[in-house]
């Protein structure tokens, strides 16, 4: 559209120049008649000689002026079109650069989302694993106590025909049954621990990818710092509370939103 407008303006200027020269050509004979041939000034040259000279002189001058005007207008319009083309090229370049920045920022956002999903899963799995480990340890302690109590009763020297002997046998039977139940619970707990065993392979992959992508981008420094804090404490069950991961990942999300806006639109920090 800008090129078309430039061409239209150039045509208008050319038409105006042609009209101006045409008007001068039409007026020129009458000006000669009035100013040269119908005056009382004495001259050694005849009117015919003056007419021939002035016609050649003024005609050449008008032709030269017309040519200069045409060249000036053409040069001006050409420069204007070139400037518009350069401006359009620059605008296109900036648009392409912004598109590339948007693509990069979208990749960062996707990596962050994948990281948060996997590291959150790992964090809660670690806490659940600790609970399962504590429960399994408690069951093993209970099994040990049952075993010790069973062996203590089993070695007691009591006559077979007494009521005390019958009571001990009943207690041993109960302990044996309880031992079987606890062993079954320990087996189930071990399977549950194995099924819950988690790793952060995906999160670690994204973590290192983000470090590579953002290490030379100043506006990404806060994101890397927050990533390190989350990554270093994701398995630290003893020194973090249940809300650690949600609080810290929310901060990371907000940092990412701000980074995307600054990076895509090239805003100053």
Q: What is the DSSP annotation of 144-213?
A: HHHHHHHHHHHT----TTSHHHHHHHHHHHHHHHHHHHHHHHHHHHHHHHHHH----HHHHHHHHHHHHH
Which class for 178: exposed (0-12), middle (13-18), buried (19 or more C-beta within 10 A)? Answer: middle
For the segment 45-67, the average pLDDT, to the nearest whole number, is 64
Helix, strand, or coil here: 106? helix
18 lies in a domain?
Answer: yes
Please state, rounded to an integer, the average pLDDT across all residues of the chain.
Answer: 78
- Report the percent of the chain where pLDDT is more than 90: 28
Domain with 85, as residue range(s), is: 2-95
Q: Are 48 and 89 in contact (CB under 8 A)?
A: no
* pLDDT of 109 strictly over 70: yes
Q: What per-residue confidence (pLDDT) applies to 3?
A: 53
Choose between 1 and 206: higher pLDDT.
206
- pTM surpassing 0.75? no
155 lies in a domain?
Answer: no
| Mean pLDDT lowest among 114-128, 130-144, 238-252 | 130-144
Backbone angles phi, psi at 71, to 5 degrees: -65, -40
Furthest C-alpha separation in the chain: 175
Q: What per-residue confidence (pLDDT) applies to 200?
A: 87
For the segment 130-144, the average pLDDT, to the nearest whole number, is 74
Q: What per-residue confidence (pLDDT) applies to 259?
A: 94
For residue 17, give every residue at least 6 positions away whose Cβ sits within 8 Å of its Cβ, in sequence order, or none: 66, 69, 70, 73
Q: What value, to the nearest 5°, has the Cα angle with vertex 119 and ends 116 and 125?
A: 135
Q: Residue 47 — pLDDT band, cuts 50, 70, 90?
A: low
Number of domains in the chain: 1
138 lies in a domain?
Answer: no
123 lies in a domain?
Answer: no
Q: What per-residue confidence (pLDDT) applies to 251?
A: 96
Q: Are 93 and 161 in contact (CB under 8 A)?
A: no
73 lies in a domain?
Answer: yes
**pLDDT per position as a tens digit, 213-238:** 999 998 899 999 999 999 999 988 88
| Mean pLDDT lowest among 57-61, 104-108, 219-223 | 57-61
Helical ranges in the chain per DSSP H = 2-32, 47-154, 163-196, 201-214, 221-233, 244-265
181 lies in a domain?
Answer: no
258 lies in a domain?
Answer: no
For the segment 178-199, the average pLDDT, to the nearest whole number, is 76
Q: Residue 183 — pLDDT band, cuts 50, 70, 90?
A: confident
Say how far apart CA 111 and CA 107 lie, in whole Å.
6
79: which DSSP letter?
H
43 lies in a domain?
Answer: yes
């Amino acid at each position: 559209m800008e090129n078309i407008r430039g061409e239209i303006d150039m045509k208008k200027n050319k038409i105006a120049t042609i009209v101006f020269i045409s008007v001068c050509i039409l007026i020129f004979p009458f000006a000669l008649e009035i100013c040269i041939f119908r005056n009382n000034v004495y001259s050694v040259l005849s009117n015919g000689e003056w007419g021939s000279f002035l016609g050649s002189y003024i005609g050449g001058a008008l032709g030269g002026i017309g040519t200069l005007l045409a060249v000036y207008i053409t040069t001006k319009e050409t420069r204007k079109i070139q400037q518009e083309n350069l401006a359009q090229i620059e605008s296109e370049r900036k648009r392409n650069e912004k598109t590339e920045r948007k693509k990069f920022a979208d990749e960062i956002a996707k990596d962050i989302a994948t990281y948060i999903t996997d590291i959150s899963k790992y964090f809660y799995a670690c806490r659940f694993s600790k609970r399962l480990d504590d429960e399994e340890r408690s069951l093993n302690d209970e099994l040990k106590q049952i075993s010790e109590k069973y062996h203590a009763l089993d070695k007691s020297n009591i006559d077979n025909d007494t009521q005390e002997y019958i009571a001990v046998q009943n207690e041993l039977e109960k302990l044996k049954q309880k031992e079987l139940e606890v062993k079954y619970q320990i087996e189930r707990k071990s399977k549950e621990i194995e099924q819950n065993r988690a790793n952060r392979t995906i999160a670690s992959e994204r973590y290192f990818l983000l470090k590579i992508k953002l290490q030379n981008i100043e506006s990404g420094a806060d994101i890397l710092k927050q990533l390190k804090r989350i990554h270093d404490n994701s398995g630290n069950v003893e020194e973090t509370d249940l809300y650690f991961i949600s609080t810290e990942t929310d901060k990371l999300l907000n940092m990412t939103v701000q980074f995307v806006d600054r990076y895509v639109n090239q805003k100053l920090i």
